[in-house]
Amino acid sequence: MAAVGRRARRRGTAAVMADRALVAAAMAFLLAGYVLSPAGQTEVATASPTGGTATTAPATVPAPSTTSAPPVAPVPTPTPPTAPPATPAPTAAPVDQPAGLLTFRGTATRTFHGTGLIGDDPSLRWRYPGRAMCAESTVGEETRTWCGTGWTGQPAVFGHEGRTWVVVGGYDRAVHFIDGDTGEAIIPPFPTGDIIKGSVTVDPDGFPIVYSGSRDGRYRAIAFDGAAPRELWALTAADATGPTQWNDDWDGAGLVVDDHLVVGGGESR
């Protein structure tokens, strides 16, 4: 009984081992159904019907989606408007103040008497205009001929643009602009409507302007920076308020003081 028992146990053990081998083979077969391809893809292994070498088919792997949302257009940043460059204000060109005798007796206080000596034996250098400076003028009901350069008769003498200018009003009803070195006219005379009895005044700030009155009832600003003199403005006795006390003559020499022109007229103002 002991021997029979040992054989029976050996057969039972062999059967169990065969069963285990069968299970292991089945598990191996199942596990061998999935292998990794060389390309890194997952493949399914299939057995050949004849038991030969198995072939593999690539597993279907969903391709990554290439569909993406349309790009959002960037919102343009508004460009601030560019202000036009500021136009610089015009700058007045520097003006050289003239040196010389610019009005009757030279200064606002009428105290300039000149410099230097005339000498004991003066000689005539030139004469202008080569004729008498005469014209008719009426006072009240009397008309007569007047000759000369006015009651004061003093010209303005000053330097301008490299020349010595002599500017004077005359009884020939005109303001004259003369070259002090040659006695020739620099520009033509400026005509007025009647004789000129007072002295002229040249602008002391260097502007090419001469101020002159006349018996024609006007006090004028005359520019002399062109080929011919021209009137800038004229003041009449009618521009003053109140009654005229004497007449409408302008015989005084104006004064320019602190950018103001001061002049007395024949209407007692």
Model confidence pLDDT, tens digit, residues 108-164: 788 887 777 878 888 899 999 989 999 999 988 899 999 998 777 789 999 999 999
Give me the chain's average pLDDT, please: 75
Distances (CA, A) of 220 to 22, 40, 74: 140, 110, 72
Mean pLDDT computed over 175-204: 95
Which of 22-36, 56-70, 224-238 reaches the highest mean pLDDT?
224-238
Alpha carbon 55 to chain centroid, angstroms: 90
What pLDDT does 201 receive?
A: 94
Euclidean distance between the first and final Cα of the chain, in Å? Answer: 174
239 pLDDT higher than 60: yes
Residue linked to tokens 């062999």? 14
**What's the distance, CA 29 to chain centroid?**
96
pLDDT interval class at 200 (50, 70, 90): very high
pLDDT score, position 1: 43
At 88, list the tokens.
Answer: 């610089």
CA atoms within 13 A on the CB side of 236: 5
Ramachandran angles phi, psi of 9, nearest 5°: -65, -35
The pLDDT, as a whole number, for residue 4 is 43
Q: Which amino acid is at 164?
A: T
User: 60 or 212: which carries more pLDDT confidence?
Assistant: 212
pLDDT greater than 60 at residue 49: no
Going by pLDDT thresholds of 50, 70 and 90, the confidence category of residue 62 is low
Q: Name the token pair of 98.
A: 């003239």
What pLDDT, on the 0 to 100 scale, is given for residue 259? 85
Fill in the DSSP letter of residue 216.
Answer: T
Instruction: Name 149's Cβ contacts closer than 8 Å, sequence gap at least 6.
Output: 133, 155, 168, 169, 170, 171
Choose among 241, 239, 234: nearest CA to 216: 234
Tokens 């020939």 belong to which residue?
A: 172
| Weakest mean pLDDT among 29-33, 73-77, 124-128, 155-159 | 29-33
Most confident of 7-21, 209-223, 229-243: 209-223
Mean pLDDT of 255-261: 88
CB 200 within 8 Å of CB 212: yes
Who has greater pLDDT, 67 or 133? 133
Distance CA 204, CA 143 (A): 37
More confident residue, 250 or 227: 227
